[in-house]
């Protein structure tokens, strides 16, 4: 079985080396994917000079093209985002805006790739955030497998982040393992049987 490649885009607002709960959950997704012959890397977007815009290259030192090259070389994209005010982070929204440029390609290069979402936050809203991100990813050509999301939210108005929560909730771990199995399975199906040309 051929090894697949995954890229996790960590959409924390905090630059490295600050701890990031969304990056931690993204790393846990990569660990689970490794059980299905998927290797990969995590890119904390805020560590790079990614410009606002909706083109593949906004010029003037924009670092999105290098991230895009890695994304297009992979079969799997995972967006890992925190919840802020019930929404995906502004970094996540910027990533989705940059992915909008794929629609201007004759055939979007994202067709045949699968996507998953990992969400953390200290308030409810994981389903809302997942729905927003999945809709945007599907719009630009990604395939969304069954149960392709995992999340952990703490108590409403709580202050305990995922990276400090002690033993991880079994429910999050179970969801992460299901995500990995379904995403790897779907990526292999699409690799062997690509979508027909338009």
How confident is the model over 8-23, as a mean pLDDT? 97
Tokens of 178: 């299901």
Give the model's pLDDT for residue 105.
80
CATH number of the domain encompassing residue 76: 3.40.50.360
Read off the pLDDT of each residue in 90-97 and give the average, rounded to a whole number: 98
Name residues whose C-beta falls within 8 Å of residue 160's C-beta, 6 or more positions apart in sequence. Answer: 122, 154
pLDDT at 11 over 90: yes
Element (H, E) at 54: none
- Average of pLDDT values for 9-20? 97
Partnered with residue 115 across adjacent β-strands are 77
User: Each residue of 138-168: b (16+ CB within 10 Å) or e?
Assistant: eebbbbbbeebbbbbbbeeeeeebbeebeee
* Concatenated DSSP letters of 82-116: EEETTEE-HHHHHHHHHHGGGGGSSS-TTTT-EEE
Residues 112-142 pLDDT 10s: 999 999 999 877 799 999 999 999 999 999 9
Domain presence at residue 49:
yes
Position 167 scores a pLDDT of: 61
Nearest 5°: phi and psi at 26? -60, -40
Report if residue 40 sits inside a domain. Answer: yes
**What domain range includes position 75?**
4-192
pLDDT value at residue 170: 75
Give domain status of residue 197, yes or no.
no
Q: How many domains does the chain have?
A: 1
> Can you give the pLDDT at residue 15?
98
Interval 17-69: pLDDT, tens: 999 999 999 999 999 999 999 999 999 999 999 999 999 999 999 999 999 99
Residue 97 lies in a domain: yes
Give the pLDDT score at 106: 77
* pLDDT tier for residue 107 given thresholds of 50, 70 and 90: confident
> Has residue 99 been placed in a domain?
yes
CA 141 to chain centre: 14
150-197 pLDDT tens trace: 998 876 666 767 766 666 667 899 999 999 999 999 999 999 999 987
Specify if 59 maps to a domain. Answer: yes
What values do phi and psi take at 115, rounded to 5? -135, 150
In whole angstroms, what is the distance from residue 113 CA to residue 38 CA?
14
The four Cα atoms 119, 122, 123, 129 give a dihedral, to 10 degrees, of -20
Task: Return the pLDDT at 197.
Answer: 77
Residue 198 lies in a domain: no
Asked whether residue 36 is assigned to any structural domain, the reply reads yes
pLDDT confidence of 198, banded at 50, 70, 90? low
- The confidence score (pLDDT) of residue 168 equals 61
pLDDT at 153: 86
Q: What is the residue whose two structure tokens read 């179970």?
A: 174
CB–CB of 50/94 below 8 Å? yes
* 126 close to 151: Cβ distance less than 8 angstroms: yes
Whether the predicted pLDDT of 91 surpasses 70 = yes
């Amino acid at each position: 079985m051929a090894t697949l490649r995954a890229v996790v885009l960590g959409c924390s607002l905090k630059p490295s080396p600050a701890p990031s709960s969304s990056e931690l959950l993204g790393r846990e997704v990569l660990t689970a994917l490794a059980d299905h012959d998927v290797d990969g890397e995590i890119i904390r977007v805020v560590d790079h000079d990614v410009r606002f815009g909706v083109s593949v290259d906004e010029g003037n030192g924009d670092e999105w093209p290098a991230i895009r090259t890695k994304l297009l070389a992979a079969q799997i994209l995972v967006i890992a985002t925190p919840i802020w005010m019930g929404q995906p982070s502004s970094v996540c929204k910027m990533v989705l805006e940059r992915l909008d440029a794929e629609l201007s390609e004759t055939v979007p290069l994202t067709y045949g790739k699968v996507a998953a979402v990992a969400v953390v936050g200290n308030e409810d809203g994981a389903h809302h955030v997942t729905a927003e991100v999945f809709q945007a990813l599907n719009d630009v050509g990604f395939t969304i497998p069954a149960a392709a999301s995992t999340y952990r939210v703490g108590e409403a108005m709580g202050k305990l982040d995922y990276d400090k929560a002690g033993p991880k909730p079994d429910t999050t771990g179970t969801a992460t393992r299901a995500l990995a199995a379904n995403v790897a399975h779907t990526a292999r199906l699409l690799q062997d049987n690509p979508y027909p040309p338009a």
